[in-house]
A and B are shown apart, each in its own frame.
Chain A
Amino acid sequence: MSIIRVNNLYKIFGKEPRRVFPLLEKKYGKEQILQKTGCTIGIHNASFEIKKREIFVLMGLSGSGKSTVIRCLNRLIEPTRGEILIDGRNIMTMNKQELLKLRRGKLSMVFQHFGLFPHRSVIRNVEYGLEISGMPSQQRRERAATALELVGLKGYENSLPSELSGGMQQRVGLARALANDPEVLLMDEAFSALDPLIRTRMQDELLELQARLHKTIVFITHDLDEALKLGDRIAIMKDGAVVQIGTPEEILTQPADDYVKRFVQNVDRSRVITASSVMRRVRTIMLPKDGPHVAVRVMEKLGISTIFAVDSERRLLGMVSVDAALEQERVGQNDLRSVLTTDVYVAAPETPIGDLLAVAVNARYPLAIQDAQGRLLGVLDRTTILAEMVTGGEASAATPLADVQSADLLNPESEKGARG
């Protein structure tokens, strides 16, 4: 399923990259290595794989090595060490001809500042890739026109790039990449130079295009919101190394380390975290099997006053309060279905929690999360929603008193020993 595999990739910039590896093994820091060898580390042991037809986002701050990684994928930059497999073929061992063929057929790139040829008209920009691979002019013009239509630029064929706005120029860049009909699109901060409104629109259009074309897209960005919106999976890079790979939700809910945690702190979590990832499982009673006795026992044991009732397929029927159950028990009525409350709000598991907040604040009971078949998956309390939206379930500025006290007792030596 994976179309690209990167194994233990290194890129060292400088005159004597070989001298760096022994130092890396000794765990020397970046600055020390720069001082000793004059080399900087672009990529530090990066490994990941990209699946067919997914949008794989490489995210990191500037200098984290993400642009270097994407340029290694088509060998615009020669990696120092490691392996890059595309469709199972190691591109590091390819000769010049094979490499040209790879770039012409399989991979196309979209650039941050568009990289359009200013002396060529829009259509001649779009057909560039086809032109250099020797396609006859009639045929390539047709394919370029199709690609332009795909990005909504029909009618601008004969304009010069300088006559177009930034957003339109990047559409040309995208059309140029699509004209080759590549399997993989490499997008290097493709929308970062656009202003926010245009940017959002381009993101939406890219997603629409992707739904139709099913390319494999490697997207580079320094913007977490963009990464979360576009990425099927996200790899977070820091100092040339991949720190974490996961779905947007995994990144937000299970940050691998403090770096990622700090990174995701400022994101608009309410738009990204979905009900399913923060809901909790809940004890239910099954009707008509369970009668008032069972219901009262369970509620007493759990110390709650209402309980969710489902049928034998786990479809949500409603809620039973402890008062109603006791009343039924008193009158000797065994079927609880007549006293069900349906005053419960339900939501789908993929709903962002931000959309649930307004309802949750007013609802008397936790929100029930059910799938398309109506089966109860879990419930969501409004306190959970609030907590998730603010900090990801953890207070950041305030520390529990107990932790502060125990931290004082820790001596520094033992901490160091634990790390080494």
Chain B
Amino acid sequence: MNIPRIPVGKGFEVLIQWLTDHLSVVFDGIDQVVLSILGGLKFALLLPHPLLLIALFTALAWWMAQRGVALFTGCGMLLIYNMGYWTATMETLSLVLAAVLIALLVGIPLGICTAKSDRAERVIRPMLDFMQTLPAFVYLIPAVLFFKLGPVPGVIATLIFSLPPVVRLTGLGIRQVPPEIREAAVSFGSSPRQLLLKAELPMAMPTIMAGVNQTIMLALSMVVISGMIGAGGLGNEVLKGITQLRIDVGFEAGISIVILAIFLDRVTQQLGKPRRRKNSTGRE
């Protein structure tokens, strides 16, 4: 039994090292873009008085979901404010939003590609499987190597972790469009672009929105974990609770995360359902 050990870990390390050495310009660029998105979001969320924002979120919950969700949102957020975790919660929210924004910008076009081309599907699907099954902590390491400590590697790690659902469900949604409807669109002379924009995407929308919801929820869970690499927000508080054995801090931060999670989930779940309240003919 003299088979030499295959240096998988070493190989990966060399690869990462090479990437950091040679592609630092790219990473710096990404760093800047993510930072500015993050900065803008954080600024927007922390600028208004917390009570104003709480009222706004409550109204949003009322409009998108039902009264119960709105009531929960109002009370829960007031509790967060009262406990003194408002700033941390908004930081977390801005991390989530930044990661999700980028995930959608990348993920929806990728999903369209997988729906349109079987070859793209064959290439992208195993990558998505890999991204989803690799333990979340593992890609914190290269993220830190590329982007140092701080919020940017947090966003990047979150992005990678939360990307798969929106890609998968966009692809699925488009593939599920009945062939006859596709034929109908084409038979009236739709160009490939018109087919996509006027028939396939609108019909796939509920499925895509289910993907968006999943992506948001995954992003929230990952953002908390990336508190370990100094992403800030509620993750930091949880980490403080663990490392300093402060049960009170850990529990309060945990509660805040749960409240934020329920709010985000209930509100974005409604995106997928057809909104019959609106006048269906009004839109162009």
Contacts and interface: CB of A to CB of B under 8 A. Distances in A.
Contact of B189 (A103, A111, A115, A118): A103
A137 B181 contact: no
Given A117-B199, A121-B281, A108 B183 contact: no
Q: Name B's interface SS.
A: helix
Given A132-B194, A158-B280, A109 B189 contact: no
A101 interface: yes
A33 interface: no
A132 B188 contact: yes
Interface residues of A, number: 37
Contacts of B191: 100, 132
A129 B280 CA distance: 19
A111 B183 contact: yes
Interface string B167-179: 0000000000010
A160 B187 contact: no
Interface string B190-203: 11001000110011
Contacts of A103: 186-189
Contacts of B184: 109, 111, 115-117
B284 interface: yes
Contacts of A119: 202-203, 205, 274
A160 B189 contact: no
B183 A133 contact: no
A104 B180 contact: no
Contacts of A160: 280
Given A109-B184, A113-B180, A132 B198 contact: yes
A114 B181 CA distance: 8
B281 A158 contact: yes
A108 B187 contact: yes
B189 A129 contact: yes
B180 A76 contact: no
A74 B187 CA distance: 7
Interface in A59-91: 71, 74, 76
Interface in B267-284: 274, 279-281, 284
B188 A118 contact: no
A129 B188 contact: yes
A158 B190 CA distance: 23
Contact of A109 (B181, B187, B194, B280): B187
A392 to B, nearest CB: 37
A97 to B, nearest CB: 9
A117 B280 contact: no
Contacts of B186: 76, 103
A113 B181 CA distance: 9
A71 B279 CA distance: 36
Given A109-B184, A111-B183, A115-B180, A124 B189 contact: no
Interface of B: 178, 180-181, 183-191, 194, 198-199, 202-203, 205, 274, 279-281, 284
9 contacts: A108-B188, A109-B188, A115-B181, A117-B184, A129-B188, A129-B189, A132-B198, A157-B281, A158-B280
4 nearest CB pairs, A to B = A115-B184, A104-B189, A103-B189, A129-B188
